[in-house]
Amino acid sequence: MTKVFIASRIGAKTKKQFEKNLNRMKAFARFALLQGYEPEATGIYYCQFMNDFDQKEREWGIERGQERLKECKEIWVLEDGMAFSEGVTRDRKIARENDLLERVWNVDTVENYLKGNDPYGYELWLKSK
């Protein structure tokens, strides 16, 4: 399986929005897996034991994730209609510097796929709204 880095907004000002962003990333990672790829979703991983609301820990997690990004073949970016977050922008820059293929997925495309093909993934997606 081709390993793809999952880049999706995760940082937030509130815990409620953070949880929504985390669920969206989980659903997006599941979408990648169902497409036949191995998702590298470091945002999910590091947020399990690091405090995303502590700037030092957040930065440390982003840096560790970016090291793992370099081991991937592609970066998959979730486009949600807003400007890309600082973290996603940094991920994209590192991906370009390392000649990774970039695929940008629109939230509607991912949501419609999950809705029609994956009830569990769609349930995760709905938690992100």
pLDDT in tens, 64-75: 999 999 999 999
Indicate the angle between helix axes 86-97 and 55-69, nearest 10 degrees.
Answer: 30
Cα separation, 17 vs 12, whole angstroms: 6
Q: Which CATH architecture has domain 2-126?
A: 3-Layer(aba) Sandwich (3.40)
Q: Measured at the alpha carbon of residue 91, what is the angle toward residues 82 and 19, in degrees to the nearest 5?
A: 55
| Model pLDDT, residue 51 | 94
Residues of the chain with pLDDT under 70: none
Q: Which of 17, 47, 52, 56 is nearest to 29 (CA)?
A: 47
| Model pLDDT, residue 31 | 98
Cα separation, 52 vs 14, whole angstroms: 11
| Model pLDDT, residue 113 | 98
| Model pLDDT, residue 123 | 96
